[in-house]
Structure 1
Amino acid sequence: IAPSQNIYNDPRHPYTQALLTAIPVPDPKSAPQRTPLQGDIPNPANPPSGCPFRTRCQLAQKICSEEMPVMKEVGEEHYAACHFV
């Protein structure tokens, strides 16, 4: 959660980073390197324990399956729920 310009200029959460690199850019030479999402898409009717994004997150570690990350300030007016940002 942040002002939109902060999210575009400095995405902190791994899911936000992946989403922003997936946006098509008219000039392929200036396109950012994509951050593809690997892993299993969680079932919304039966979400995984801990962080709901952990099954697809490149930063996921044991704590992610054990504890839901809390929202914390990661920059000025910029908040994210991730154990590693």
Structure 2
Amino acid sequence: MYLGFIVETAPRDRIFSAPRHPYTRALLSAAPSLDPAKKSTQLDLKGEVPSALSLPSGCCFRTRCPFAWERCAVERPVLKENGAGQQIACHLIDEPARDVA
């Protein structure tokens, strides 16, 4: 959930093994690993969190998303089924060439 909007849902194992929304990826990449041999690559989010009282147009996460593009600024994404019980609210899943999963 980001600024009151659900951005991704999935069964527990799936959300941890294959997160698709950039915010979910950033959250999980920030968690330290209990395995000292496993190096984690943290997604660094830039920018300020928008005010929940004055949401940006389009996708609320676009101001911090490293993958945001024009469509993100004008159209708020809705949750869409992506198989295996996973739902994602992100325009990246509509554009395979842009998807960075």
> Normalising to structure 1: TM-score of the pair?
0.92
User: 1:84 — aligned with what?
Assistant: 92
Count of paired positions: 85
What amino acid is aligned across from residue 70 of structure 2 in structure 1?
Answer: K
> Normalising to structure 2: TM-score of the pair?
0.78
- In the TM superposition, what are the counterparts of 1:2-81 in structure 2 within 5 Å? 2-81=10-89
Unaligned runs of 5+ in 2: 1-8, 94-101
Name the SS of the counterpart of 1:84 in structure 2: helix
- Per the TM alignment, residue 70 of structure 1 is displaced from its structure 2 partner at its CA by 1.3
Q: Is the 8 A contact 2:32 2:40 kept in 1?
A: no
Unaligned runs of 5+ in 1: none
CA-to-aligned-CA distance 1:15-39 (integer Å, 9 cap, x gap): 0000000001234441321111112
Matches of 1:61 and 1:29, distance apart in 2: 36
User: 2:98 — aligned with what?
Assistant: none
Percent identity, aligned pairs only, is 46
Q: Which has the higher strand share?
A: 1
Name the SS of the counterpart of 1:8 in structure 2: helix
Name the SS of the counterpart of 1:75 in structure 2: coil
Matches of 2:34 and 2:18, distance apart in 1: 21
